[in-house]
Amino acid sequence: MKYLLEDDYEYDFNLLGICCHEKDYRLCWAINNTLDLSLTKSKDNLELIFPKASKGPAYFSVFKHSMENKEITYYLIGNKFENQWLIPEKQHVDYFLMIKSNEKNNPSPLLNKLKSIPFILTAHSVIVDQLKSKENLIF
């Protein structure tokens, strides 16, 4: 007998895709200066084990900033590790900026500020519910 565990997770965060060819620490510095944040590298990377990959686990860099007074947490997450992608259907995106908040905010002002950073090629809002591999964003 086979049992399937079904869990409906609510993806209650905004996700922004960032195309940028800079290293993660340089992008983090620019985002901190532009958005007045203090993103810092997490001690633990996001580790994923892909069933079809023979190279072993993939480690995606994560930077985090929490604003406890506003109950908002920002995560800057790398999308690529040695030819493996966190979200394979978004291979053109280099980084994701995840904003977890109790309130749904309009990401347009944030996108405009991100686009003002000279080495960001483009930034756009990502609809999480349309992603096939959205479960990779649960951590």
Note the pLDDT tens digit of each residue in 2-46: 666 555 666 678 999 999 999 999 999 999 999 999 999 988 777
In the predicted model, is pLDDT for residue 117 greater than 70?
Answer: yes
What's the total number of domains in the chain?
1
Q: How confident is the model at residue 3, as a pLDDT? A: 62
User: Does residue 22 lie in a domain region?
Assistant: yes
* 15/125 Cα distance (integer angstroms): 6
* 80/44 Cα distance (integer angstroms): 16
To the nearest 10 degrees (0 to 180), the angle between helices 24-35 and 108-115 is 120
Average pLDDT of the chain to the nearest whole number? 86
* Cα dihedral 18, 22, 28, 32 in deg (nearest 10): -80
The CATH number covering residue 57 comes to 3.30.310
Q: How confident is the model at residue 52, as a pLDDT? A: 65
Residue 82 sits in which domain range?
A: 13-130
User: Does residue 42 lie in a domain region?
Assistant: yes
What percent of the chain lies above the pLDDT cut of 70? 88
User: Does residue 8 lie in a domain region?
Assistant: no
Count other C-beta atoms under 10 Å from residue 114's C-beta. Answer: 22
Q: How confident is the model at residue 83, as a pLDDT? A: 84
Q: How confident is the model at residue 13, as a pLDDT? A: 86
In the predicted model, is pLDDT for residue 54 greater than 70?
Answer: no
User: Does residue 7 lie in a domain region?
Assistant: no
Which of 65, 109, 114, 110 is CA-nearest to residue 94?
A: 114
Q: How confident is the model at residue 120, as a pLDDT? A: 95
Q: How confident is the model at residue 62, as a pLDDT? A: 93
User: Does residue 3 lie in a domain region?
Assistant: no
* pTM for the whole structure: 0.85
